[in-house]
Amino acid sequence: MAMTPLQASAQEADTYRQLKLFGEVFERVRADFVEEVSDQELIEAAVRGMLNHLDPHSGYLDPDSFREMRTQTRGEFGGLGIEVTMENGVVKVVSPIDDTPAYRAGVEAGDFITHIDGEQVMGLTLSEAVDRMRGPVDSPITVTIRRGEQEPFDLEIVRDIIKVQSVRSRVEGNIGYLRVTSFSEQTTPGLEEAVAEIEAELGDDLQGYVLDLRNNPGGLLEQAISVTDLFLDRGEIVSTRGRHDEDSQRWNATAGDDIEGLPMVVLINSGSASASEIVAGALQDHRRAIVMGTTSFGKGSVQTVIPLGAEGAMRLTTARYYTPSGRSIQAMGIEPDILVEQATVTTPEQQRQRREADLRRHLDGEEAPETPAAPEDEEAVPEVILPEPEADGDEEAAEIIEDYQLARALDLLRGLALFNGRIVN
């Protein structure tokens, strides 16, 4: 409903009163704070506070952080190799990046970093904490980790240049395994190359693919769309809805399926966020793939990076993502078609994993439609009873225990191959 001129005038007057309050506080701090603080520091702190108050993903990027962000999207950056957010005043690890110093040191998704080189993280902004974790290549850093109900412990990590190979692949019997660790500018070309190599190796014996998106924190929206388009022949991939109707956008698949309709299993877990959830949600809604694992993180919001003066930028949440059936990902995540927890050698007491819905000031989610719309002229995924995995010898059994979710995904694809009458060697 449009405001009357009187209401608009009253709102404008209230805004000026609030800006006057800001000016008064600014001048008093500038004049009377126990130590001298520059105008730039005060204004940047005010901007950070305003944006950080909105939701966990909006924020201010100073020139150094903005340059770092642009470097990350190109797939190469310096640091420890972790995707982080801020929660309850400390740094929370969304996921470690494969084959990076943090990953090799044993950092896990859901860990909290409470101290950096012995200094408390509490009281720092996320940008300040990230700055302290940066440093010269080959220099050590000690982070204090709080994990579940365990006593806090220290990890020493040696900083390195992080060159992210966003796509890894291999052959598992007659099945192609595709691991996507992030969505950078290198992802779609890397995935196309991996598919071509697997097809060349297996030829007509190829039975299907596992697309592994576990602990993938996301990345570029355009890459999530192009990756999904590799496996869809038609239909909507994702839509975004902002505050205003004119801000809504939809992206659709183009003709052509790079793997020619072969069965797919997509693996997700609580570390699969944002772009990963777009891919999993679209392939699930179109019945193009079976999603397996545990519920994803639930980051279904769109951040727009807006350059500001002096080479800085602001990251502002401007819209929500929706899957083709109209489901909101925000604070809900993608529920797998087949729930498979990751197995370990021991059976510890299960700890609840933190997700987007647990973050302070997270955007509310929206109820999903009662019945997700299935694309026309597509068959439903046949129900397959998974056989128990069999292992020949201790070595194979150990591998299955090490990655139980992948083992079950491979079993499912082999079962589908049998169901479809394919020859299994």
Q: Closest Cα to residue 60, out of 130, 139, 1?
A: 130
Q: Which two tokens stand for residue 50?
A: 């305003």
* Neighbour-count burial for 83-112, b at 16+ CB within 10 Å, e otherwise: bbbbbeebbbbbbbbbebbbbebebbbbbb
Residues acting as catalytic residues = 274, 285, 299
Q: State the burial class of residue 309 (Cβ atoms within 10 Å of its Cβ: 0-12, 13-18, 19+).
A: exposed
